[in-house]
Chains A and B, each alone.
Chain A
Amino acid sequence: MKTYILQRIFSGMIVMLGLSIFSFALLHLIPGDPAQLMLGGKATAEQIANLREQLGLNKPLPSQYFQYIQGLLTGDLGDSYKTGRPVLYELLERFPATAKLAFTGTIIAIALGIPLGIIAARHKGGKLDRLLLAIATVGFSLPTFWCGLLVIMVFAVKLGWFPIAGGTGWRDLILPAFTLGVLQSTIIIRLTRSTMVEVLGNEYIRTARAKGLNESIIMVRHAFRNVMVPVVTVLGLQIASLLGGAIITEQVFNWPGIGTLSIEAISNRDFPIIQGSIMLIGFVYVIVNLIVDLLYMLIDPRIQYSSKEAA
């Protein structure tokens, strides 16, 4: 187990290294000069050339990359071209808002998705199942920005129950988290339902029923754990994706998270911020995937990791 975790951490570091090389190269291929954007439209060619020199943008790319990696290893992600503030500071300032939205949204998605998925599976083929599947399909197909605006119009403008674009307090959180959670739950409803239907058709469920076990005990003890493996995998990916910034939701609800920061940084060619965001998102994916893999063991004791398997 310990060896497995160490191996996963090592492979995670390789992933991060690859990610840093790939993103660094890709960023410098995008047209757009950060020095020009930093100095504004009225800068002279001489001023731009001087700033490029100051920023080290005239150095060969490998040299710039090694300088970046050196800083990274000492926790220095550089300074934002736009604000001049340390990238780590900018990211840490935004991350709590993103994490708050991601976790609350996910909790809502779980709270709605799993029970409704189970209910649909238990009424397979029935009216309730068809209704829930239809709702899930429609919800899955709806664009986030449209749902976001609709929710704003109804709950904030018409009913006046919640503020809009007011800040990052708990009252401000309800509408974006609700939108995000409901839309994410549609995937979980469908996944939980299909997995549950499959599990309920297994021999051991039939055996449990033949033994005369209570249906709720069968669901909780025998079926639910098996349903959870694929659901946890998808949830893990969703949380990781949301921790990188629910970009559209953040834009519509004016939520000051990593997603908004990344979009602005791309427009401004703020390379250190973009690079920092990519590394943060990569790091979150590596960690969340590791946690998900470890959770498998808790959910299904048949899953065991040895160094041999991991290799």
Chain B
Amino acid sequence: MRKGNNLSKLLAGILITSLTTITIGCGASNGDNPQQSGTTTITPGEPQKGGTVTIAVDGEPDTLDTHKTHTGIASSLIADFFGASLLYLDPETKTLQPSLAESYTISDDRKAWTFKLRKDVTFSDGTPLTAKIYSDTFNRMLEPEHLAATAASFYDGLSRAEAPDDETLILHFDRPSAPILTYLSMPAYAQPMPVDLIKKTGDEYGRKPVGVGPWQVTEWKTGESIALVRNDGFNLGAAYYKNQKAPYLDGLIFRFIKDAQTVKAALESGSVDIAYNLNGKVAKSFRDNPKYQVLEELNNGEVFLGMNLQDKRFQDPAVRRAISYAINKEAIVQAALQGEGVAAHSPLANSIFGFDPASADYDYKYNVEQAKKELENAGWTLNGEGVREKDGQQLRVSLIIRETRALEGQLIQSMLAEIGIKVKNQQLEGGAYYDAANKKTFDLIIGQYGDVDPDILYYLFHSTQSGNKYSINDAQLDDLLVKARSTFEQDKRVATYKDVQKLIIDQAYVVPLYVQINFIVINSKVKDVKYGNNALMLNDAWISK
């Protein structure tokens, strides 16, 4: 075993300097607040205790059992409030910092991680947190009957957890896993859960979970809302907060409102105080209104155009390159997002650690003539109907899109028509879309992902992975992806991911389209709300009376 150090010192070594979450003009909507910093608005005045904040979310979770949930509202939002993780990712410094773990060591073969837990942590029901409870939590995640496919996917390679004493948690892996610390900083999936209580309450646990976070869930009104109250015993607040103890607010209500126009009206009427992940079009209308504060951050994920390489036409690199040249990404950002996003040039989103800024140079620049030339040179000539043809095969292709991306689909259709590729758009709702993607019954597809680590590229593009809907089978790429997830030295890992990004673009396996901006709109009476790493943070928040 390597000698253990104080975690903060050790983790400084894995400083995630290049985790370039780009913050775009966040802060007070009136734009004249000189004190705004990062994703925080520093408000003069003493925080006052009390009050309840209502937050509009665009759907209802399936369950708050974080091993079983597959809804982002549970895993990316509500679970952050009632749970905590071994480490946390500081949104400002982009370094991993201690949370439930005080320190850790890693074995020489890099397959076992030993965490020393804090001694003074209790669940919101008063049960002390022990390493046994934590190890039971991870072991539960690995049991197939709990259907924890999403949660377990982040801890790929984890074989078992053990607790030799109350303060020591050991995680055993089948292989060295470089991204594991990042994933252990996700409160949703890496939080301890009272497994004995879950055994007693069964599925109902998912309606009223118990965690070690700053809030506790008190009520779930089906179809309406989930209410949380302050956990007065909380003392784990990250150094990033001004307030490390229990939050100032008495409670939070997450109200489920699907329709964006209804959310807008609810904000305007004061029925809700915060709207989470509001679309750009609606959020923009609040920017110049001093009654509201608009926080914005680039999404930790990307939208891209994928091609089905089972189809011989897309096995021709010239066709893939031609498509890459023909797509005007800037136009898509302007038309589909009203400019509220950035054009993507790498398969890795700008906001994720490991992103290669040089990708803007080596990515295919929009050039219709070059696209036509690629096809001509490869023998794809225009037939009488204006469609490219070669050896009896025509470039008539289908494009699968979700109903929410109709505009992107239409733009791509018209852009590819310019170079003689006839696209038939198939707009599908969620279930049918995933079915077509899994069965690979598409030629082109608009895909999307969100993640906190570049290891997402392994899931999307490694030949063995279910996320590789595009049937990419490239031995060099496979090797690089495996190397990147097993490399612990940060600079070497970043260098490997640069090679991965360059290779994917050189081969034009996908066309990166855009990274959109996430918006949070806040009633100005709620002060000191923070937004970073695509997470809403309310430990410092208070209501000005």
Contact = CB atoms under 8 A, between A and B. Distances in A.
Interface stretch (B193-201, B367-375, B426-434): B426-434
Interface string A264-297: 1011110000000000000000000000000000
Interface string A81-119: 011110000100110010000000000000000000000
A94 B222 contact: yes
Contact of B431 (A31, A97, A168, A260): A31
Contact of B203 (A45, A84, A251): A84
A39 B150 contact: yes
Contacts of A131: none
Interface string B53-70: 000100110110000101
Interface stretch (A18-26, A156-164, A213-221, A222-230): A156-164
A156 B271 CA distance: 9
A42 B223 contact: no
A40 B265 contact: no
B431 A32 contact: yes
Interface size class on chain B is 35 or more
Contacts of B59: 264
Interface string B231-256: 00000000000000000000000011
A41 interface: yes
A149 B147 CA distance: 40
A84 B262 contact: no
A41 B265 contact: no
A83 B206 contact: yes
Interface string B414-457: 00000000000000011110111010000000000000000000
Contacts of A165: 56, 255, 257, 262-263, 266, 271-272
B268 interface: yes
B225 A167 contact: yes
A14 interface: no
Contacts of B68: 84
B450 to A, nearest CB: 10
Contacts of A11: none
A253 B221 CA distance: 16
A62 B60 CA distance: 33
A82 B149 contact: no
B223 A257 contact: yes
A231 interface: no
B223 A260 contact: yes
B178 to A, nearest CB: 18
B434 A267 contact: no
B223 A164 contact: no
Contacts of B203: 83-85
Given A164-B266, A165-B262, A165-B266, A41 B271 contact: no
B150 A43 contact: yes
Given A39-B70, A156-B269, A93 B262 contact: no
20 contacts: A31-B436, A36-B438, A38-B147, A40-B150, A43-B153, A83-B62, A83-B203, A93-B223, A149-B265, A153-B265, A156-B271, A157-B268, A163-B271, A164-B269, A165-B257, A166-B255, A167-B225, A254-B257, A256-B224, A261-B223
